[in-house]
Amino acid sequence: MKPTRITSWHISCGSDTERSLRESIFSIANGYIGTRGFRPDERGKHAAWRSTFISGFYEYIRPGITDLVNQPDFSAMALRLNGEDTESMHVFDFTQSLDMSCGLLEWSFFLESRDGLRTKIKMEKFISMANRHIAALRISVMPVNWSGSLYLETGIDASVQNLPISDNQLHNNIEFVQMWNIPEIKPIDGGAVLTAKTFPSHRQVTMAYVLNADENAALTTDDYSVTSVLETTLKCGTCWQAEKLVAVACFRDGDSENIARSELELIRHESFDALLDRSKKAWGRLWETSDVVLEGDETWQGGVRYIIFQLLQAAPRHDPHASIGARGLTHGRYKGCYFWDTEIYMLPMFTMTQPEIAKNLLLYRYNTLPDAVKSAKNFSAKGARYSWMASDTGFEQCETWDTGCCEIHVTADIAFAFGKYTASTGDDQFLCCYGTELYIQTARYWVDRFNYSAKEDRYHLLFVKGPDEYCGVTSNDFYTVSMARQNLRLAIDAVSEMKQRWPEEWQDLSSRLSFNDNEIAVWQNIIDKSVLTFDEKRGLWLQDVTFEYMEPLDIKKEKDGDKPLYLRIGYDRLQRYQVLKQPAVLMYMALCPEDFSKDEIETAWNYYEPKTLHDSTLSFGIHALVASRLGKTPEAVRYFEKSLFLDLFDLMNNTGHEGIHMASLGASWQALIFGFGGLSHDGEYFKVVSRLPEQIHAMRYRFFFKGHPYEAEIKQGDDPIIRELT
């Protein structure tokens, strides 16, 4: 049985769905605060499992290494019915559900006490999309066959901990880290304000709340938490309710206590429903441009909305110093770090449907350019070198030496995303104010990173790891060289555009960067003389220089379902088999199909696809996209379904303990819109063709191009219709 039920706007689970999986899938956020979908009254095994995160809020756990901080739990709740603790009661008819139109999370269930007293419970929670500081909870309790006492405790609990997870996926960490010093707690009318500071950097968060109910609550505190305690008498068949309104602010916003207090003051007399209504309207505005309407399979429709929903709620839109981590705000896996996942996988959806959010995400990279310049220096290189894993600063967070030192394509990936953003939005100011500087600095890094061989008059890229992390450390990796060339081309074009269109700004920038016109010739030389290997006989682009020396592996025999092979075969051995973890040549072809003939892509598909293990969740959606463009619709559908339902159906068996795979969501969106929905552009014109599989009878999506909104409507058997919206 599938762990999740999916309808067009809702997902839901019963109690038979594993708890950590439920907690991941039902994560809710607003780009600022995010919480996993744990039931408020379930205290859980350990304080590290009650996870709440704030975008960009990291703290050091070792010199130079940060973790995304698990924030105080503002949902914390305990209930006693007729004197009995609900945690020990029998739960039945349990449903957890999420309304994706507005981000409302709901738990509804019955409890039965030892003496057979039955109670209907509903808990609701949302994090406001209208005001990033606000969250709200509502609890409804109705005794079914009894009358008697209710005891409710709820407040803010800072006794939560972090469980930093190693980069090494084979290493299971059991070391909990206490991030919070003893908080300061102040009572307010109807609630309290808790301000906590992290250890060691004193980064501050404030959570202020009020509990609105007919009864008055008494306030109790201990070292790490503040609790409102309320007692009342329930009547059989009558529903009792309480609402808790929360305001959250942190050091990144300024004076967190002041902000949280004033945000709470503004809403403290409002109802849960009124606040939800405002949030719903804000969600409505997001859905207006980002929704994709499918006719056909309802599960696909719901799955598609889920990927869009998760991406929209993960994206910081207020803060150009934060981005989206590999697991968004749904889990601390990868220490909450930012990867190429954001620019290459997730960004296209934002660029096409929410360009303001896309710009904000790119600004995070621009704002960490000074760190990338320092990082390049640390690697004895000029220019700017972006880190494989980054957090609130741009400094390297990857602790695995080969990946951290050699998976350098991220620098070119970021430049590429800048290029795509300006090409499709037409936001030239962005090129002038941010893009050109980033292109020049990153191009300078490539100049130092390539080795020139005077004997051959060629540039080699040595000691490099491509996106296929099972390729070891290699030379002239196809993906990295190709993306570095793109980066250099972007720099050349930007300099020429700056000179023509913004001579004054160019004057400032070029003198600030001590730019020398001779640099352009070197960039062009690297583009012309770097090495990619093409086998003329087979018409095949080779991944790198060593791939064909590797030993073949019978994947069908070795691989057990979707379980990653690194769990069974040691990395050292795995890297000497002729297998791919995820697409590499095909990855580049997915990004730049216009650089290749259909035959070249088909040949690459026939060669690499059977050798690909899909041990990374980044793999399926990209294969779906390439297959769809090649007209291999059954393969495209097979890969798309894997990517689309990866988390909802827990296909890799790790969504519960690792969180939602944000890059896979982005890849699914690209497969849907650029693949089945046939959208493409060359920077000047866009085009829509129909590649609908039989599962989609018709499809409607909106997008922006050069600042104008459009709607594409595609029906099986008909030509696509494009409307410019006003």
Q: Which is nearer to ligand BGC, 432 or 660 (CB)?
A: 660
CB of 376 to ligand BGC, least distance (A): 21
Rounded distance between C-alpha atoms, residue 644 and residue 303, angstroms: 6
The single residue among 582, 603, 612, 690 that binds ligand BGC, judged by CB under 6 A, is: 582
CB of 160 or CB of 663, closer to ligand BGC: 663
Query: Comparing C-alpha atoms, which of 252, 339, 222, 194 is closest to residue 69?
Result: 252
Stretch (H or E) spanning 93 = strand 90-99
Identity of the residue, 332 or 355, whose beta carbon is nearer to ligand BGC in the bound complex: 332
- Indicate which single residue of 467, 675, 677, 693 sits in contact with ligand BGC (rule: CB under 6 A): 467
Interaction of residue 586 with ligand BGC, rule CB under 6 A:
no
Contact flag: residue 74 with ligand BGC (CB under 6 A): no
* Residues in 414-443 that interact with ligand BGC by CB under 6 A: none
CB of 617 to ligand BGC, least distance (A): 7
3-class secondary structure for 545-575?
CCHHHCECCCHHHHCCCCCCHHHCCCHHHHC
Contact between 183 and ligand BGC by CB under 6 A: the answer reads: no
List the one residue out of 392, 399, 332 whose CA is nearest residue 201.
392
- φ, ψ of residue 41 to 5 degrees: the values are -90, 0
Q: What would the 3-class secondary structure string for 354-386 be?
A: CHHHHHHHHHHHHHCHHHHHHHHHHCCCCCCCC
Q: Which strands, in side-by-side order, build the sheet including 33-35? A: 28-29, 33-35, 52-54
Applying CB under 6 A, the span of 28-36, 106-114, 236-244, 338-346 interacting with ligand BGC comes to 338-346
CB of 570: closest distance to ligand BGC in angstroms?
Answer: 16
CB of 630 to ligand BGC, least distance (A): 23
Give yes or no for residue 483 binding ligand BGC (CB under 6 A).
Answer: no
User: Considering the complex, what minimum distance in angstroms separates the CB of residue 373 from ligand BGC?
Assistant: 23
Q: Kindly state whether residue 647 participates in binding ligand BGC, applying the rule CB under 6 A.
A: no
Nearer to ligand BGC, 171 or 557 (CB): 171
Question: In whole angstroms, what is the distance from residue 449 CA to residue 460 CA?
Answer: 9
C-beta of 469: minimal distance to ligand BGC in Å?
5
Closest contact distance (angstroms) between CB of 256 and ligand BGC is: 30
Q: Closer CB to ligand BGC, residue 57 or residue 470?
A: 470
Task: Considering the complex, state which of residue 333 and residue 691 has its C-beta at the smaller distance from ligand BGC.
Answer: 333
Contact between 616 and ligand BGC by CB under 6 A: the answer reads yes
CA distance 170 to 167: 9
Q: In terms of CB distance, is 129 or 344 closer to ligand BGC? A: 344
Helix axes 478-501, 436-449, angle to 10 degrees: 140
Interaction between residue 476 and ligand BGC (CB under 6 A): no
Q: How far is the CB of 353 from ligand BGC (least distance, A)?
A: 22
Who contacts 438 (Cβ-Cβ below 8 Å, separation ≥6)? 365, 366, 369, 384, 414, 415, 418
Which C-beta is closer to ligand BGC: that of 360 or that of 619? 619
| Inter-axis angle of helices 436-449 and 518-529, nearest 10 | 60
CB nearer to ligand BGC: pick between 131 and 582: 582
Q: In angstroms, what is the minimal distance from the CB of 271 to ligand BGC?
A: 40
Q: Which one of 57-65, 91-99, 334-342, 488-496 is the stretch in contact with ligand BGC (CB under 6 A)?
A: 334-342
Amino acid making up residue 215: E
Computed on alpha carbons and rounded to an integer, the radius of gyration of the chain in Å comes to 26
Q: By CB under 6 A, which span of 172-180, 335-343, 390-398, 601-609 interacts with ligand BGC?
A: 335-343
Cα separation, 664 vs 292, whole angstroms: 17
- Beta-bridged to residue 110, according to DSSP, are 92, 120
Interface segment toward ligand BGC; rule CB under 6 A; list 308-316, 333-341, 347-355, 589-597: 333-341
| Sequence-ordered list of residues with C-beta below 8 angstroms from that of 203, at least 6 positions apart, any chain | 57, 59, 69, 197, 250, 251
Strand partners of residue 120: 110, 142
Residue among 180 and 339 whose Cβ is closer to ligand BGC: 339
Residues between 341 and 380 that touch ligand BGC (CB under 6 A)? 341
Q: Least separation, in Å, of the C-beta of 64 and ligand BGC?
A: 20
CB of 117 to ligand BGC, least distance (A): 48
- Could you tell me which residues are beta bridge partners of residue 107? 96, 123
CA distance 7 to 304: 11
User: Residue 400 or 533: which CB sits closer to ligand BGC?
Assistant: 400
Interaction of residue 580 with ligand BGC, rule CB under 6 A: no
**CB contact burial 135-150 (16+ within 10 A = b; e otherwise):** bbbbbebbbeebebeb
∠ CA 405-408-412, nearest 5°, is 160
Q: What is the C-alpha separation between 349 and 245, in angstroms, rounded? A: 32
Could you say which of 156, 308, 363, 618 contacts ligand BGC (CB under 6 A)?
618
Residue 613: which of 563, 549, 541 has the closest Cα?
A: 563
The token pair that represents 495 in the structure block: 């300099």
- Tokens 């960009």, located at residue: 56
CB of 582 vs ligand BGC, minimal distance in Å? 6
Closest CA to 344 of 681, 669, 666, 704: 666
Give the DSSP H/E element, type plus range, for residue 349. Answer: helix 347-353
Q: Which of residues 235-274 bind ligand BGC (CB under 6 A)?
A: none
Minimum distance from CB of 345 to ligand BGC (Å)? 8
Angstrom distance (rounded) from CA 595 to CA 609? 20
Task: In angstroms, give the least distance from the CB of 395 to ligand BGC.
Answer: 17
Q: Is 339 in the site for ligand BGC (CB under 6 A)?
A: yes
Per the omega criterion (within 30 degrees of 0), is the bond before 200 cis?
yes
Query: Closest approach of Cβ 80 to ligand BGC, in Å?
Result: 43
Residue 620 makes contact with ligand BGC by CB under 6 A: no
Find the part of the chain contacting ligand BGC (CB under 6 A) among 313-321, 339-347, 393-401, 445-453.
339-347
Nearest-approach distance from CB 618 to ligand BGC, in angstroms: 5
Q: Which is nearer to ligand BGC, 340 or 523 (CB)?
A: 340
Q: Minimum CB separation from ligand BGC for residue 583, in Å? A: 10
Which of 230, 312, 484, 663 touches ligand BGC by CB under 6 A?
663
Asked whether position 326 contacts ligand BGC by CB under 6 A, the answer is yes
Q: Which stretch binds ligand BGC (CB under 6 A): 87-95, 212-220, 291-299, 336-344?
A: 336-344
Name residues contacting ligand BGC, limited to 111-130 (CB under 6 A).
none
* DSSP per position, 280-335: HHHHHHHHHHH-EEEEE-HHHHHHHHHHHHHHHHH--SS-TT----TTTTS--GGG
Asked if residue 469 binds ligand BGC (CB under 6 A), the reply is yes
The span from the first CA to the last CA of the chain, in angstroms, equals: 45
Residue 141 binding ligand BGC, by CB under 6 A? no
Residue whose CB is less far from ligand BGC, 306 or 339: 339
Residues of the shown chain interacting with ligand BGC in the complex, contacts defined by CB under 6 A: 326, 334, 339-341, 467, 469, 581-582, 616, 618, 663
